[in-house]
C-alpha cells in the first residue's frame, strides 16, 4: 500500500505562510503539533524551506527538493517532487509535504490529505499558500487550539485510507 501524501501547513485566513523567509508567527502549540505529527515519518520540503529551518529535523526522514543544494548529512536531496515522493514511499511511512509555496502547488493535485492549521490572527506576508478548491476536500477532523484551529482534510473520492 502506498504511503499517505499529506500536505501540512499553517496559514492565515488570507493564506499567508511566510514573510521574508520565515514564518510570521510564533505559536508554540502549533510547533508541538507539527513535531508530534511528523516524528517517525518523512518530511518533504523545498530548498528554501530547508534553509529557513536551518538543519535536518530530528527523528524524521528529511527529503529536500533542489537542483543546487550540496550534499548535506541528514537529508536526501531529490531533483523533483516525483523522486522525493519515491524516496518517501521507500521509507514506508507517511509523507508530510511541508512547503514551500511551489512544492505545495505541485503537491495539491496528488495529495491524499491536508492538515491545515488556520492561524486566528492576521499577519502580513510575502508568501501565500496556493488557492485550492474546497469542493475537492472534506473535513474529517478538527480541533481548536489557542491561536489556531487545526483541520484535517481528506481528498473527496479516495475512501477512508486514514491510518491513525
Q: Please tell me the total count of domains within the chain.
A: 1
pLDDT at 159: 66
| Three-class HEC string of the chain | CCCCEEEEEEEECCCEEEECCECCCCCHHHHHHHHHHHCCCEEEEEHHHHHHHCCCCCCCEEEEECCCCCCCCCEEEECCHHHHHHHHHHHCCCEEECCCHHHHHHHCCCCCEEEEEEECCCCCCCEECCCCCHHHEEEEEEEEECCEEEEEEEECCCCCCCCC
Residue 131 counted as domain residue: yes
pLDDT at 160: 57
Domain interval for residue 61: 5-155
Residue 24 counted as domain residue: yes
* 67 φψ region: left (φ > 0), alpha (ψ -120 to 50), beta (else): alpha
Q: Mean pLDDT per segment of 10 residues, for the chain of length 164 residues? A: 94 97 97 98 97 96 97 97 97 96 98 98 98 96 98 87 47
Residue 160 counted as domain residue: no
* 56 φψ region: left (φ > 0), alpha (ψ -120 to 50), beta (else): beta
pLDDT at 57: 98
pLDDT at 116: 98
pLDDT at 26: 97
CATH number, domain with residue 61: 3.40.430.10
Model-level pTM? Answer: 0.95
Residue 162 counted as domain residue: no
Q: How far apart are the C-alpha atoms of 97 and 74, rounded to whole Å?
A: 17
pLDDT at 164: 43
Sign of CA dihedral 122, 131, 137, 45: negative
Residue 163 counted as domain residue: no
Residue 73 counted as domain residue: yes
Amino acid at each position: 500500500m502506498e504511503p499517505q501524501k499529506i500536505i501540512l501547513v499553517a496559514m492565515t485566513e488570507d493564506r499567508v505562510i511566510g514573510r521574508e523567509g520565515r514564518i510570521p508567527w510564533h505559536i508554540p502549540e502549533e510547533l508541538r503539533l507539527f513535531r508530534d505529527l511528523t516524528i517517525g515519518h518523512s518530511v518533504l520540503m523545498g530548498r528554501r524551506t530547508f534553509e529557513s529551518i536551518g538543519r535536518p529535523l530530528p527523528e524524521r526522514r528529511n527529503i529536500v527538493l533542489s537542483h543546487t543544494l550540496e550534499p548535506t548529512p541528514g537529508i536526501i536531496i531529490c531533483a523533483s517532487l516525483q523522486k522525493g515522493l519515491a524516496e518517501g514511499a521507500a521509507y514506508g511511512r507517511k509523507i508530510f509535504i511541508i512547503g514551500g509555496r511551489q512544492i505545495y502547488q505541485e503537491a495539491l493535485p496528488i495529495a491524499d490529505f491536508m492538515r491545515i492549521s488556520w492561524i486566528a490572527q492576521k499577519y502580513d506576508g510575502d508568501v501565500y499558500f496556493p488557492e485550492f478548491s474546497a469542493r475537492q476536500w472534506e473535513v474529517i477532523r478538527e480541533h481548536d487550539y489557542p491561536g489556531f484551529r487545526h483541520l484535517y482534510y481528506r481528498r473527496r473520492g479516495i475512501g477512508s485510507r486514514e491510518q491513525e
